[in-house]
Structure 1
Amino acid sequence: MNLSDSRFLQLQQWLACQFAVPITVSLISGDASFRRYFRVMVGTQSYIVADSPPEKLDNQPFLALADAYLQAQIPVPEIIAVDVTQGFILQQDLGDQQLLSLLNIDNVSDWYRQALALLPQIAKVTSSQAGPLPLYDAAFVQRELAIFPEWLLQQHWQLSLTGDEQQLLQQVFALLTENVLAQPRVGMHRDFHSRNLMVRQQRLYVIDFQDAVQGPLTYDAVSLLRDCYIRWPDSVVDKLRDGFYQQCQQQQLLDSQVSVAQFNRWFDLMGLQRHLKAAGIFARLLHRDGKSGYIKDIPLTLEYVADISERYPELKDFGDWVRQRLLPLCGENC
């Protein structure tokens, strides 16, 4: 980071107006967007400030969702001060401990059960002060799925698909879209995983919720349990998924007539949709945004796709294609 860049100087000036004592500001990270995060030290007290340029990012959804989640008793960082015009958001410092850094095979089930217990509260948030959350409808799903062929297959690997391959993709995308629309619609975080859950004093806090929508019941759960950044044994995931199924019925988020088999299919196909989208986004982050840190996560997302596709006869050809045509490319270009 160039500490003399104009936005950083503007940020320092804004922070100086918030505090009447000397402060120090240090860069923590940028996320998978145009947003940057800084830690602000005021004596022994620390805060986090987001530098979120308003010409590139709409900050209103984050601010509105932060309030809505707080009202729903979802643990989120407290917003302390905001400059909407400049795009600066001062908030509570939750520390540096992402859930991912704590996980191991012995404790993952306990931590994930705590995380899954937050989802019924998130499911109930379907609007904010800005109005109803956007609908994760067929057009939304198809826009997301289109990222996969455009950015991974074409931009990253320069693949020219045959007519049969294009038809195969279209059939799979139609199946995945149908799966989304078949599920109960709830409030959905849309990026609920171990890097977006912070641990502070043994309590989980939810971050990065600004893209929340109204969408399928299984989306957030599969995002967590089949994380794009780490994979757990099927025996662990299956038990947690079954617990989530029971939780959804107890919370009346799921009709009692929905069978375990139906729910598991929803869960599996929802994971496929997310992993295809994620693989495309990881390539887009490299080629459009110059962020190379995510490209190494493509092999895991495609391994999920190939493995889960094997469970369903109608997806076998697709799974074989991913395993034989795409996964070998990861050794060369991921």
Structure 2
Amino acid sequence: MTPPASAPAFLASAGWEGARIAPLAGDASFRRYFRVTDGEKRAVLMDAPPPHEDPRPFIAVGEWLSGHGFAAPEILARDLDQGLVLLEDFGDERVRDHLDHAPQDEHGIYRRAVDVLAEIHKLPPCDVPRYDREVYLREVNLLTEWFCPAAGLDVNMVGYVEAWEAVLPVVENDAAPPVTVLRDYHAENIMLLPDAERSHGLGLLDFQDALAGHPAYDLVSLLQDARRDVSVMTEATMLAHYKSVAPVSPDFDAAYAVLGAQRNAKIIGIFTRLCQRDGKPRYLDYLPRMWGLLHRDLAHPALEPVAEWFEANVPHKLRGVLKPEPRP
């Protein structure tokens, strides 16, 4: 986590000459983050190095969110050629960290997070690509591309795609109009802000991959969290709350289950890839939770073709703990 060599000159050009740069966090991508301190001033430096990363989508979606009153970090300075962006600092209190120490606050915070989504969903989507079948299939194929080989499974690849093509129309043909889907809306990407009046006191992060899609997707991301346990009761209560504050279609519950299965299958593949390709074995610790969530979604009648494929191709004893060797 050494700052990029160009960081001091970039900060100086933005009025932060001599500022202290300290590692803040990394994520599952090539992006890195540093806290910048200059006296009483604080900011966050995003290092999104090209060609691996492009900060333009983050900036565009962030400006759209801010323009509609949501709390995305203000852009203080940018150098797109070097992939450097200076951001407003939302502090250190992530929802995940807060709830680890104050689980009694889960209901209230999640209710506010659902309210933010409902307000986003009342707006026409921002100018981003559609979350279409090509994307859905590319994502679910990560499970057969990475997890299945790691588990030593020789599976019916054609049948897997056919099963998903049989269930995705539940989402595609739903009457719900497309909304801005942030795609990683969960407790590690939502910050608790000191100003409780600003967008329900919740700051938004990690939305550079936003697409225009079904409103249930970000609810799945929030309520079937890959990184923390959300109780079945909390999930049901928050779904009911969303339905009380936002219009939903008759097929909403089926679409929620399909998108839950789609997202969870994708993440199983991604976490396996992070271990094998990127040398990040800690992500395997999340696989038992992901398989548990996927099992719950597959129980919905709308997922019957996909559930049958898993029964025929992935033995239950191989769903969960995995210790794959890195790919050469």
Change (3 A) 1:316 1:14: closer
CA distance in 2 between partners of 1:157 and 1:208 (Å): 30
Deviations 1:25-59 (A, max 9, x none): 11112111111100011012211000111211122
Give runs of aligned pairs for residues 187-266 of structure 1, distance below 5 A: 187-201=180-194, 202=196, 203-249=201-247, 254=248, 258-259=249-250, 262-266=251-255
Give the match's secondary structure for 2:146.
helix
Structure 1, unaligned runs of 5 or more: none
Percent identical among aligned pairs is 28
- The offset of 1:176, in angstroms, is 3.9
Give the match's secondary structure for 1:271.
helix
Change (3 A) 1:99 1:176: farther
Residue 157 of structure 1: aligned partner: 151
Give the match's secondary structure for 2:319.
helix
- The offset of 1:218, in angstroms, is 0.3
Structure 1 counterpart of 2:114, one-letter code: L
> Does 2:14 correspond to 1:18?
yes
Change (3 A) 1:159 1:204: same
Structure 2 counterpart of 1:151, one-letter code: W
Give runs of aligned pairs for residues 288-327 of structure 1, distance below 5 A: 288-312=277-301, 314=304, 316-318=307-309, 320=311, 322=314, 324-327=316-319
Normalization by structure 2: what TM-score? 0.88
Q: Greater CA deviation, 228-237 or 275-284? A: 228-237
- The offset of 1:307, in angstroms, is 2.6
- The offset of 1:150, in angstroms, is 0.4
- The offset of 1:222, in angstroms, is 1.1
Change (3 A) 1:133 1:21: closer
Residue 135 of structure 2: aligned partner: 140
Structure 1 counterpart of 2:110, one-letter code: Y
> Does 2:26 correspond to 1:37?
no
Structure 1 counterpart of 2:235, one-letter code: V
Residue 269 of structure 2: aligned partner: 280
Give the match's secondary structure for 2:82.
coil
For these two proteins, the number of residue pairs brought into alignment is: 312
The answer on whether the counterparts of 1:306 and 1:319 sit within 8 Å (CA) in structure 2 is: no
The answer on whether the counterparts of 2:11 and 2:17 sit within 8 Å (CA) in structure 1 is: no
Structure 2 counterpart of 1:239, one-letter code: T
Deviant stretches of 4+, over 6 Å: none
Residue 97 of structure 2: aligned partner: 101
Give the match's secondary structure for 2:9.
helix
- The offset of 1:319, in angstroms, is 5.7
The answer on whether the counterparts of 2:32 and 2:48 sit within 8 Å (CA) in structure 1 is: yes
Change (3 A) 1:227 1:175: farther
- The offset of 1:89, in angstroms, is 0.2
Structure 2, unaligned runs of 5 or more: none
Which has the higher relative contact order, 1 or 2, with Cα contacts under 8 A spaced 6 or more apart? 2
- The offset of 1:237, in angstroms, is 1.0
- The offset of 1:239, in angstroms, is 1.5
Change (3 A) 1:31 1:57: same
The answer on whether the counterparts of 2:9 and 2:17 sit within 8 Å (CA) in structure 1 is: no
Structure 1 counterpart of 2:181, one-letter code: M
CA distance in 2 between partners of 1:181 and 1:120 (Å): 20
Normalization by structure 1: what TM-score? 0.86
Q: Greater CA deviation, 168-177 or 87-96? A: 168-177
- The offset of 1:290, in angstroms, is 2.6
CA distance in 2 between partners of 1:224 and 1:168 (Å): 30
- The offset of 1:106, in angstroms, is 2.5
CA distance in 2 between partners of 1:236 and 1:114 (Å): 13
The answer on whether the counterparts of 2:118 and 2:242 sit within 8 Å (CA) in structure 1 is: no
Give the match's secondary structure for 1:48.
strand
- The offset of 1:166, in angstroms, is 3.7
Structure 2 counterpart of 1:238, one-letter code: A
- The offset of 1:270, in angstroms, is 1.1
CA distance in 2 between partners of 1:316 and 1:8 (Å): 47
CA distance in 2 between partners of 1:292 and 1:39 (Å): 26
Change (3 A) 1:167 1:54: closer
Give the match's secondary structure for 2:29.
coil
1:115 to 89, 92, 113: 113
Change (3 A) 1:263 1:24: same
Structure 1 counterpart of 2:50, one-letter code: P
Give the match's secondary structure for 2:5.
helix
The answer on whether the counterparts of 1:309 and 1:318 sit within 8 Å (CA) in structure 2 is: no
- The offset of 1:197, in angstroms, is 0.3
Residue 82 of structure 1: aligned partner: 78
Residue 125 of structure 2: aligned partner: 126
- The offset of 1:323, in angstroms, is 6.1
Give the match's secondary structure for 1:107.
helix
